[in-house]
Structure 1
Amino acid sequence: MTERKPCRVCNFTRQKSYGLVVPSLDELKIKGCEFLGFSPSNQVTVVLEDDGTIVEDQAYFLCLPSNTKFMLLHEKESWSPVRRVDGGTAWMARDSVMLEADTVDASSAVAPWWDLAQQLKQDLTSIILMSETDLQTLVDAPCPELASALGFQEKRAEDLQETLQRVLDRREEERQSKELLQLYLKAVEKEDTRQDEPSQPSQRGPGDVDLPDGMEVDSASGFMSRTLMVLKGKTSPETRLSTEDLQMVVTRGVEAMEQVLGWDRTRTSALLQACEAELTRRLQQIQAVQSIRSNTQLDSSQQCSVNSTEEGEETPAQGSN
């Protein structure tokens, strides 16, 4: 029997939010549409509410921690981040409906990091799936209050925040290294072009202007320009893509990516196979961490049982003396 997963769903405005317990991604779509008042005939896309990651794979859905929040989108709707205005208090009004639906005590919603702390309290490995915004929110949370929410000692909560800050620092270093590499590859490509066509005048049109990496979205493909540059790179592009980009590439399929990249079927298929393998590897890492955590909890409970049995056997012996 498939394990049923507790989760939450909301619409793209985040004005409606409901708690569900479902065994599969398809059941999430069906029940989510029913609760949110969507027509059963409408096609919906499921994304993660916090960062917009598209969720279309059942295996990936099962890897997500309990109480993950999903957003259901119609064909013409798109995900956007939470916009906090009015001194950072607008989120309180927006979340009022969600808190009522989830039956959460209103006193626990006084800070935006509270839900993240509750998620960590249930499953510490959910850190792997958190966005940089979520991690920064936890780092900025008051240490004593965070410790209380997690049920930790204050020193342990402080160590957790230091670890999260190191994760953010490492991601920033990786991003800077990737940008430097992309600039280098771009310069090499331009140099090769000049060497191949030394006598040809520039054929650049008025619209062919170099754009900053990652600042524009290609209207035909829907990919960020930075992502397209990485995909067309010469060395293992799948290892330099985010999990969200990998999911998007795999979901598009070979035929669609042929048109996006302008490659032949063999080369495109090889790229998609590499992206799918990298996505599977990352999901297996998450499953391995969760498995280690479960085994650790099981060993602890077994040890407590053994200790209780040994104490029970020693008590009669002392009484006979």
Structure 2
Amino acid sequence: MGDLRPCKVCNFKRQHSYGLVVPSLEQLKIKGGESLGIGPGAPVSVVLEEDGTIVEDDIYFLCLPSNTKFMLLCEKETWCPVRRIEGGTAWMTRDSMLLEVDSLDGSISQVEPWWILAQQLKQDLASIITMSEADLQTLVDIPCTQLASALDFQESKVQNLQETLQRVLDRREEERQSKELLQLYLSAVEKQEAQASMEGAGDMDQQDMLEVDSGFMTRTLMVLKGKTSPETRLSTEELQAVVTKGADTMEQELGWDGQRTAALLQACQAELSSRLQQVQAIGSLRNLGQPDTRRQPDDHPQEEQDPAAGGPADMQG
């Protein structure tokens, strides 16, 4: 165990501060948690109270000077700098609630969460990057006149700001949907590969591998006849074969009536189209972030190349 080191700890609102002497970072969490009323076993992270730097190992902890002040954070609590609001001090957290501050007449008034977020923006517009989607949506939903008053901005500038916040929200949603689509695609690929591997490793009867007169594999017909939602259990090649054969051939092979066969073909066509869209979406994801080197079409056909000048006609002179 190392030498004892004097230090200070406080909670995320800085309402309580205690002096401790501990030999290690783990002991700082334990004794600091006891002093601040944090239950034993609760996950606790340690940051520097001054700037929010995360302290994760004893080596860094031992390199800090004596009497360094630390902040202990529980789940959903985040470090925030000191904020001055109308003569009072408001401590901002991720889960914002109504805060009581001193008003000009000496009475106690309540501050809405959106107003605190507005003050954060007023001090540093770059804080948009670190805001949660809930905070961004709160600022978008506030009437423009109220937000302009809190920021001391012109309404036109606030309108532009809210449009920017909405674009940030839209971009995050698009990124989330793209990630979900990619995960679905990768899961489908893994499932198909696993299924193909199991079929290849099993002892199959050679007769099951023979094609029937129509060109279908026996397995394909078995899946179509005996499975619920069979289109989801067929490979892309099998789906293409079913769709290509058409209703008449499928009626003969399956022995079904026209209505049931048409419903099956429609389901197979929809599944095939869905898989094609997924592949196209993955291709689009791969191109994200890559510069488009293709020549863009001319939006103004009248601005044609001047053969004599070698450039656009309207660029001469």
Q: TM-score range by the shorter chain?
A: 0.3 to 0.5
Query: TM-score normalised to the size of structure 1?
Result: 0.36
Query: TM-score normalised to the size of structure 2?
Result: 0.37
Relative contact order, higher structure (CA 8 A, sep 6+): 1
| Structure in which a larger fraction of residues adopt helix | 1
The structure that has the greater radius of gyration is 2
| Structure in which a larger fraction of residues adopt strand | 2
